[in-house]
Amino acid sequence: MSYNFPECEWVNGKKLITTRIEMPMWCTSEILNYIIRHPVLEIKLRKIRAIDKDFDSVVESMCAVDWTEDVIQHIDSRKILENVRKTIPLREEVHEWMRVSYAHNVAISVMKQNYANVVSTRKKGIMESEFVTLGGIIDGKSDDPYIPGVQVQDISYVSETGKTVADNGFAKLNTPYGIDHVPILDKKTIIKPKMLAWSAIPWVGNKQWIGAIVKWVKLVKNPFELAKGGIPNVLLTNFSGTEGLSSPVFLAHVPPRFGLRNDVELDIASNKDQRIEIYYRDPRDFTKALCKLTIPLQGNSINKIRYSIRSLFGVSPMLMHIETPDNGLIAVKKFNVRSYLFPFLIPI
Amino acid sequence: MFNFNDVEIVEGNILVPTRIRVSPLSFKRIDRALDTLDVSLGEIKEILPIDKIPEPTFLKFDAKVFIPRNILEKARSEITEMVSEIKWFNPPIEKIKEIIEKMEPEEKDKKLEEKEISSWMHEATAEFVTLRFIQENYNQSNNSYMVTSVGDAYTPGVSCEDLSFAHETGYTVTQQGFANLITPYGKIEVPDNDGSTIIKEKLLAYAHIKSGWGVQTTGHIMKWKSLATTLEGKVKNLVCKNFGGKEDPINPQFFAQVTKNAVKLIKSKITMWSSKDQKVLIEYRDPTNYENVVFKDWIDVPAGKSELNGICGAYPHVPPLVAHIKPKKDAFALQSYDIVEVK
């Protein structure tokens, strides 16, 4: 197995845990360099078909986390918060921000678990099949960045009071690449040359504030088709429990063989009508976007999306970055890529 | 190459294992090599007594990064006093907690709905500062990576990659005498006011829990993701600290002794610092299953800086080994662990 980056690297004198993509055998560094040097990609949406499916039923079929038993498990922390407010009363030691943060942590855990739990079968012989772990690794946390502080792997918030953060209008996020500013009551997708993360600040108080960090360590790659659940994003609610900030989904687009055209099959369940944006990025430098596609999704349905990516120099493995608008939740149920040497589209 | 895949399935659960980068040459015929392994540790040599080196100054501590800015500004004089006296390596967790508590006291007079700060946060912040210090120093070696997490294990919860404390109140933890840590290998009981070293086939971690007679509990998890190895230079800056509790819980340290070439004999040299005269456990473990101990010994480490030489031999070659170090009483730091291949 070869990856786009080593597991850890020194950047600016700090140790960086990279976000890794497993590269296919055919894609040597020379081939990748050649393809990426000619990034003339053409992306074309071919077909979308929506099949009615209640989004909550998709979430219910996701695998559950076992560190919490007394609250409902969801990727929408608004729903968890409703339940948390009933089961965990306010006390001398339990404040409101902690209940909100707890709801976030439950949602992040469900997202983590379902991102890791992608297993597919591969035919070994006529009768045998082998289980292959395609699972990715995500780490994430929500807590108060002032005291006790929030750190996820190599990313942490600068420990400042809520008042300072509110006066500045942003919080400082410390990454091996330096300091990033995250606007308060908002979110930011952190895309660095070798690292992918997401941070959100859903609430700011006088002393305390809530800061969440999610970091992708290893990306899930195609092909997978999940009968139950899906690879979800997460929604972190604000204090009122009405609005929420949605995280992106990162996947690895890995063509099984060299081709001038890739046909992509993507099944996405959506909680509401929304327009998602899919960015394709260079696997050697995530900051370089290669092409973009905007797709309208129908709510409470599974959207079967088919599109093609074409390049006369070949289509390389890429990072697939799906960005959803606020309050939007998605779960990727199927992701398959087929490679063709014939570059022209055949109408379907 | 690595000894394990980056994601593995154990007992039907997904595990992100603790991995070691090994050279393919030294990993061949490892069973035979482990069977014939012979380790011999020499005499401890005192280099500097504790009065000459009261603090391990070789360690990295950046107060501006680790301590909340507001508290650092308010308590600058007290912290500066501590920094000059004890260089921040050895302040007991209680002392750090005291400063944080003084600068950011619990809001007792406020209404329940308006309260933001409560007592568990002081304890958790003190542990957070200490853990970041240990983590930052561990990550100084090549390929090494440790991840940590700290907070209130009840609400909002503490989890670190695939390890999480169960959602239990402080009352429950106190009553049952332990907290449950959920791992891919199942539930592990972490004794209350104490720590537990988790050594499973493919996982190395440490968890600590402290509950008072309240709802909240302060817990922390340390997970070794990628062990510091001797493959590209020496292993350095491994810190063990006493986190306070019934049995003086001290975190262990893990690293890997890995050779570049297939050699039959290696010489090792350990330089260490200890705050007290104490016994330190040294174990070597099988890199294909961390639960198998292949060598175990206690060494008497004097307070101050000291050095220990060892020899390791095996046929057909010295296998990669996972070293597990655990002091018995108090603060301890391994400054360096270096090997020389004898050809």
Tokens linked to A191: 């895309």
What integer pLDDT is reported at residue A212 of this predicted model? 97
Taking the model in full, what pTM does it have? Answer: 0.94
Check: complex ipTM more than 0.90: yes
Q: What is the pLDDT along chain A (348 residues), one digit of tens a residue?
A: 689 999 999 998 889 999 999 999 999 888 988 888 876 778 988 899 999 999 999 999 888 887 887 778 899 999 999 999 988 888 888 889 999 999 999 999 999 999 998 876 665 565 555 556 568 999 999 999 998 999 999 999 999 999 999 999 999 999 999 999 999 999 999 999 999 999 999 999 999 999 999 999 999 999 999 988 899 999 999 888 888 999 999 999 999 999 999 999 999 999 999 999 999 999 999 999 999 999 999 999 999 999 999 998 899 999 999 999 999 999 999 999 999 998 876 665
Euclidean distance between the first and the last CA atom of chain A, given in angstroms as a whole number:
35
What are the percentages of helix, strand and coil residues in chain B, rounded to 5? 20, 45, 35
Q: What's the rounded Cα separation, in Å, for the pair B11 and A186?
A: 40
Interface touch A116/B127, C-beta < 8 Å: no
Chain B residues near residue A174 by CB distance under 8 angstroms: 65
- pLDDT tens digits, residue range B239-263? 999 888 777 889 999 999 999 888 9
Percent of chain B with pLDDT over 90: 61
Is the CB of A237 inside 8 Å of chain B's CB atoms?
Answer: no
The three-state (H, E, C) secondary structure of B150-191, written as one string? EEECCCCCCEECCEEECCCCHHHHHHHCEEEEEECCEEEEEE
Q: What's the rounded Cα separation, in Å, for the pair A213 and B176?
A: 33
Tokens linked to B4: 């394990």
Helices (H), A238-304: none
Q: State the smallest CA–CA distance between residue A302 and chain B in angstroms.
A: 27
Paired sense of beta strands A330-340 and A178-183, if any: unpaired
Total count of residues recorded for chain B: 343
Rg (CA), chain A: 21
Name the residue in chain A with its Cα closest to that of B120. A93
Place of tokens 């053409």: A42
Q: What's the rounded Cα separation, in Å, for the pair A262 and A316?
A: 9
What integer pLDDT is reported at residue A125 of this predicted model? 61
Is the CB of B117 inside 8 Å of chain A's CB atoms?
Answer: yes
Q: What's the rounded Cα separation, in Å, for the pair A255 and A318?
A: 9
Is the CB of B268 inside 8 Å of chain A's CB atoms?
Answer: no
What integer pLDDT is reported at residue A214 of this predicted model? 97
Distances (CA, A) of A315 to A199, A280, A348, B61: 31, 11, 21, 47
Distances (CA, A) of B316 to B35, B57, B231, B283: 10, 40, 19, 22
Name the residue in chain B with its Cα closest to that of A98. B156
Contact (CB, 8 A) for A304 and A267: yes
Question: What does residue A231 show for φ and ψ, rounded to 5 degrees?
Answer: -90, 110
Classify each residue of A255-279 as buried b or exposed e, where b means 16 or more C-beta atoms within 10 Å of its C-beta.
beeebbbbbbbbbbbbbeebebebb
Q: Kindly provide the residue ranges of all beta strands, DSSP E only, lying in B154-288, ordered along the sequence.
A: 159-160, 163-165, 178-183, 186-191, 194-200, 203-211, 217-226, 228-229, 235-240, 253-257, 265-274, 278-286
Chain B residues near residue A85 by CB distance under 8 angstroms: none
Chain B residues near residue A113 by CB distance under 8 angstroms: 14
Contact (CB, 8 A) for B168 and B218: no
- pLDDT tens digits, residue range A1-35? 689 999 999 998 889 999 999 999 999 888 988 88
